A and B are shown apart, each in its own frame.
Chain A
């Protein structure tokens, strides 16, 4: 973030944008020069460094850009007083003497005072002069400078520029594809309020503060600016803000940014402040163990938020399969008050399938109250996987049953000559097992069922005719038979051959040396 005097913006109708610095040769050049200057001035005073940096302001660049870079570089400096004497003490001694008699208004009188004190301190008058105000910023010595690469610096500059403009924002809205927990954690921590709604497939979140209700309020601008780096950590994001640039301005300006246009030119240098404070080892450990198993479930860390009334909840994990999602919330580290709030929230969910893993040692008895609907797993050090798998399995079986009942009653989109259970399940967004079950139990007029596949009887006939024709000409092996069947749009040659009453005679393992015969022939 920069002083507002260094903010450069461009307005167009009712939009406003920071004037971003493009990552071209010239702009990177001045950044490199400035970084080099800082490096060169290690060992010199801050005053001298400032002088040199100011000198670079007159090279045809916007001075605000150059000064903005300096501001960022200043934070990478380690300053230290030149003198080992304590300037406060030195001054105390000097003023004590200088106030004893008349003020030293002549150079001689001044010299006399300094001589006397220098002698007492056993230093030279020059050293005394140096330490007199050795603690002023300009007198401090640049002890160390942590260099940075020019591109990273310019990207950080662009981010700081945006944040500085956000100081003037009255509200901010955003969408991202991940790290919801971090963002919402930060929103809460910063004392902001969110409103959330669904918008084209994802969620849009508007953030402002309690007293924003009454009038346009820039009070939360700084907090909103702090939120930005966390949002930008996502590969995809979109941010909109309302900006009230000047006090007297009654017109709100729009700031709109997204990763496709602005993702490449700005970036936080360090990871943001307010890092996750909770200990996530428990979750990490669980995730690793779960991934090692082949469960058929896709595990998502921090799935999309769930809207519960006006509030939002982001479970730690989501398990996805065939259009269903089961959540896992790890409640190990919550305070009792937070837990109470959470159980209330969970209780309201109802149709959401949620497993809660509660740390036994932290005595989360409150969770018992909602035990009816939501599965609770107690754990001590690690979250056990078995009960979760059992839950997922039971959930899957329940769903298969439900879906089977539904599928049996529904008209299914079966038109193609060949329909496979897996395809159909994907198409309908249901579990494959439910489709298989349905296929087994339901009759489909005009179709024959071959294992998990339906095939039109007319299609079977066509294939049979082709094979017969071929058999008349001579012997037929499996490879050729496959070709014929696939040319007809068929699959699973073996199943089809079997259904048509052919046997495959194997001579070794080479499919080329097989012979297809009618079953009656053997």
Chain B
């Protein structure tokens, strides 16, 4: 008799029988396999007509699940493609195209215990809310202090990773929201340590700059369906315009900027270093560990950048725009928290950062949704998939050069609403290193 057990993120196969993916583990006196291969191991045992007892999967009992979701044609096509691919794979749709609904329908059809893995606490709340209202049951949660196991459970990537050893055999279906996070070295172990035979990945940006997406076919299944922003803009999403506003630093800021930036530039010149790629920059950063001059140069560059990003001129420009777009719903993005709080104090606009208490953040987002608040200023926490509908104007007062971030931010204000023209306004300090970062964003 062969006995299959789950042991903290892996499968133990007792009974002296080798299976595909199984490796002899002398510490346990049994064959051990990664939990991800649960489906393959079972299939092998069935195929070989071997008698076995499966004590590996231990999902809590689940009642009949039904929801009232109606899928749009492209959503239905995506779901069909996923089923055809063996109930595994990644669906790529732009933000606001209703990926959540596809997942809900999949849960209803499979009717098994399901774990939804999300990158942020905001998304955690959001998924919990929609799952409990759609299926009319209590939804479990891991992350942000919660510790509740239910047939339908939502978890952050962090908690899913940390708790993998305990949770890995509880869910037959696992959904990775914003699945481009999964290929990180630690998070990819979520894919490996959970035995869930059914897997779905959702994202607007499949590709990763580090090539990590090549891991996705193994961890979740390959890309089974994709639609770009352009295919949906205008029909299912709002059309949008994009403007870039260049502002001059104040005279004092200019002086400060030049002085600091020159320290950095002179250092590079002296050392004959050219920073062309992120890799060059990485090498420069490494030097700062051993070379005090390099460190001083880096600090000077950061101070210069801060001057540009936090410029009073930009805040003034923002004030002008707030007067113009006062009636619209506005999201303001900055790179540093410091600027978030300056803007919040100056214009008395609610701020959302990682320091905002969770309850307050929820309240702010809800009031924004309800129209009670018309603006939010934030650094980066809203970047992904947070459901902030109806925002029609977005300001970018600084960010990183990453393309993904840009698309995600764009997505923030692209919620479909009849007759709405969305606007994205970037306020950039003229003739500073920031101009270049902004260009990189649009590559």
Residues of A within 8 A of B (CB): 8, 63-64, 88, 91-92, 94-99, 102-105, 110, 113, 129, 132-133, 135-137, 191, 193-195, 209-211, 213-214, 217-219, 247, 310
A153 to B326 CA separation, bound complex (whole angstroms)? 54
Contact A88/B341 with A98-B349, A103-B348, A136-B355 known, Cβ cut-off 8 Å: no
> Nearest Cβ distance between residue A405 and chain B, in whole angstroms?
39
The answer, among A95, A191, A209, A213, for a CB contact under 8 Å with B350, is A95
Query: Is B189 in the interface zone, CB < 8 Å from A?
Result: yes
Known: A105-B323, A214-B34. 12 other contacts (CB 8 A): A95-B350, A98-B348, A102-B323, A103-B322, A135-B357, A191-B8, A210-B9, A211-B189, A214-B10, A214-B32, A217-B189, A218-B186
In the assembled complex, the CB of A350 is this many whole angstroms from the nearest CB of chain B, namely: 19
Closest to A217 in B: B189
Q: Which 9 A-B pairs have the closest CB atoms?
A: A98-B348, A105-B319, A210-B8, A103-B322, A102-B326, A211-B9, A210-B10, A95-B350, A211-B10
23 contacts between A and B (CB under 8 A): A64-B289, A88-B359, A91-B350, A95-B348, A95-B367, A95-B373, A98-B347, A99-B372, A103-B323, A103-B347, A104-B348, A105-B319, A105-B322, A135-B357, A195-B27, A209-B8, A210-B9, A210-B10, A210-B165, A211-B189, A211-B193, A214-B32, A219-B186
Question: B residues engaging A (CB < 8 A)?
Answer: 7-10, 23, 25-29, 32, 34, 165, 185-186, 189, 192-193, 289, 295, 319-320, 322-323, 326, 341, 344-350, 355, 357, 359-360, 363, 367, 372-375
Query: Chain B residues with Cβ under 8 A from A136's Cβ?
Result: 341, 355
Are A99 and B373 in contact, with the CB atoms below 8 A? yes
Chain A residues in 8 Å Cβ range of B193 = 211
B375 surroundings in chain A (CB, below 8 A) = 99, 103
Chain B, Cβ-Cβ closest to A133:
B341
Complex-state Cα separation, A95 to B372, whole angstroms: 9
Closest A residue, CB atoms, query B24: A213
CA distance A191 to B7 in the complex (A): 10
Which residues of chain A are near B189, meaning CB under 8 Å? 211, 217, 219
Complex Cα spacing A43 to B76, Å: 62
| Contact yes or no, B357 A88, CB < 8 A | yes
- Once the chains are docked, how many angstroms separate the CA of A341 from the CA of B345? 63
Min C-beta distance of B196 to chain A, whole Å: 16
A247 touching B32 in the complex, CB below 8 Å, given contacts A103-B349, A105-B323, A191-B8: no
A229 to B297, CA, bound (A): 38
The one of B32, B289, B320, B374 that contacts A99, using a Cβ cutoff of 8 Å: B374
Q: Which chain B residues border A95 with CB–CB below 8 Å?
A: 348-350, 367, 373
> Which residues of the partner chain B approach A247 to less than 8 Å between Cβ atoms?
185
Which residue from A88, A193, A214 sits with its C-beta under 8 Å from B27?
A193
* A63:B295 contact, CB within 8 angstroms: yes
- Find out whether the CB atom of B10 lies under 8 angstroms from the CB atom of A213: yes
Measured between beta carbons, the chain B residues less than 8 angstroms from A133 are 341, 344-345
Contacts of A110 in B (CB 8 A): 346-348
Q: Which residues of A contact B289 (CB under 8 A)?
A: 8, 64
Name the CB-closest residue of A to B353: A136
- On chain B, the residues within 8 Å of A103 by CB distance are 322-323, 326, 347-349, 374-375
Considering the complex, give the chain B residue whose CB is closest to the CB of A222.
B162
Which single residue of chain A is at the shortest CB-CB distance from B166?
A: A191
- For residue B34, which residue of chain A has the nearest CB? A214
| B169 smallest CB distance to A (angstroms) | 13
Closest A residue to B189 using CB positions: A219
Contact check, A113 vs B348: say whether CB atoms are below 8 A apart. Answer: yes
* CB nearest neighbor in B for A8: B289
A135 to B8, CA, bound (A): 40
- What CA separation (Å) do A91 and B356 show in the bound complex? 12
User: Nearest Cβ distance between residue B357 and chain A, in whole angstroms?
Assistant: 6
Q: By the criterion CB–CB under 8 Å, are A104 and B374 in contact?
A: no
| A97, A113, A210, A218: the one within 8 Å of B7 (CB) | A210
A287 to B359, CA, bound (A): 53
Residue on B nearest A135 in the bound complex, by CB:
B357
**A213 lies within 8 A of B32 (CB):** yes
Contacts of B359 in A (CB 8 A): 88
Contacts of A211 in B (CB 8 A): 8-10, 34, 189, 192-193
Complex: A316 Cα to B350 Cα, angstroms: 60
| Bound Cα distance from A132 to B345, whole angstroms | 8
Taking CB atoms, residues of chain A closer than 8 Å to B341 are 133, 136
Give the complex CA separation of A110 and B9 in angstroms.
56
- Report how far A214 CA is from B24 CA in the complex, Å: 10
CA distance A95 to B373 in the complex (A): 7
CA distance A91 to B364 in the complex (A): 10
Q: Please tell me if the beta carbons of A137 and B295 are within 8 angstroms of each other in the complex.
A: no
A8 to B165, CA, bound (A): 31
- Checking B8, B10, B323, B348 against A94 with a beta-carbon cut-off of 8 angstroms, the contacting residue is B348
- Determine which of A102, A105, A210, A217 lies in contact with B32 in the assembled complex, contact meaning CB atoms within 8 Å: A210
Q: Which residue of B lies closest to A107 (CB)?
A: B346
A310-B26 CB under 8 A given contacts A103-B375, A219-B186: yes
Closest to B8 in A: A210
A327 vs chain B, min Cβ distance (A): 24
**Inside 8 A of A193's CB, which chain B residues have their CB?**
27-28
| B contact residues around A217 at 8 Å (CB) | 189
Task: Give the residues in chain A near B23, CB-CB below 8 Å.
Answer: 213-214
Check if B360 sits within 8 Å of A88, measured CB to CB. yes
Chain A residues closer than 8 Å to B8, beta-carbon distance? 191, 209-211
Q: How far is the CB of B298 from chain A (nearest CB, A)?
A: 11
Which among B32, B193, B289, B326 has the highest number of chain A CB atoms within 10 Å?
B289
Whether B355 and A104, one on each chain, are in contact in the complex, defined by CB atoms closer than 8 angstroms, is no
Query: Bound complex: CA of A267 vs CA of B23, how far in Å?
Result: 40
Residues of A within 8 A of B344 (CB): 133
Bound-complex Cα distance A191 to B348 (A): 49
A132 CA to B351 CA in the complex, in Å? Answer: 11
C-alpha spacing A59/B7, complex, angstroms = 51
Q: A401: shortest Cβ distance to chain B, in Å?
A: 39
The distance in angstroms between the C-alpha atoms of A137 and B337, with both chains bound, is 12
Residues in B whose Cβ lies below 8 Å from that of A210: 7-10, 32, 165
Residues from chain A with Cβ under 8 Å of B28 in the complex: 193
Cβ A104 vs Cβ B10 within 8 A: no
Query: If the complex has contacts A94-B348, A310-B29, are A137 and B355 also in contact, measured as CB distance less than 8 A?
Result: yes
B350 proximity list for chain A (CB < 8 A):
91, 95
Chain A contacts for B319, CB-based, 8 A: 105
Q: Which residue of B lies closest to A95 (CB)?
A: B350
Assembled-state Cα–Cα distance A105/B343 (Å): 10
**Residues of chain B with a CB closer than 8 A to A191's CB:** 8, 165
Residues of A within 8 A of B372 (CB): 96, 99
A210–B28 Cα distance when bound, in Å, is 9
* Known contacts A63-B295, A310-B29; is-contact A105 B349 (Cβ 8 Å): no
Residues of chain A within 8 A of B322, CB atoms compared: 103, 105
Query: Whole-angstrom distance between the alpha carbons of A219 and B359 in the complex?
Result: 32
Nearest to B372 among chain A residues (CB) is A99
| A306 CA to B186 CA, complexed, in Å | 36
Q: How far is the CB of A153 from chain B (nearest CB, A)?
A: 23
Chain A residue at minimal CB-CB distance from B355? A136
Q: B346 — nearest CB in chain A belongs to which residue? A: A110
Q: Among A94, A103, A214, which residue has the most Cβ atoms of chain B within 10 A?
A: A103
Nearest neighbor of B210 in chain A, beta-carbon distance: A247
Q: A104 vs B193: C-alpha distance in the bound complex, in angstroms?
A: 53
**Distance of A377 Cα from B345 Cα, bound (Å):** 73
**Residues of B with C-beta under 8 A to A104:** 347-348
Measured between alpha carbons, how far is A105 from B34 in the docked complex, in Å? 58
Task: Name the residue of chain A whose CB is nearest to the CB of B21.
Answer: A214
**Smallest CB separation, A46 vs chain B (Å):** 12
Min distance, Cβ A7 to any Cβ of chain B, angstroms: 10
CB distance from B214 to the nearest CB of A (A): 15
> CA separation between A98 and B376, bound complex, in Å?
12
* B contact residues around A219 at 8 Å (CB): 186, 189
Residues of B within 8 A of A195 (CB): 26-27
CB neighbours of A97 from chain B (8 A)? 348
Task: Please report the C-alpha to C-alpha distance between residue A8 and residue B193 in the assembled complex, in whole angstroms.
Answer: 32
Q: How far is the CB of A111 from chain B (nearest CB, A)?
A: 11
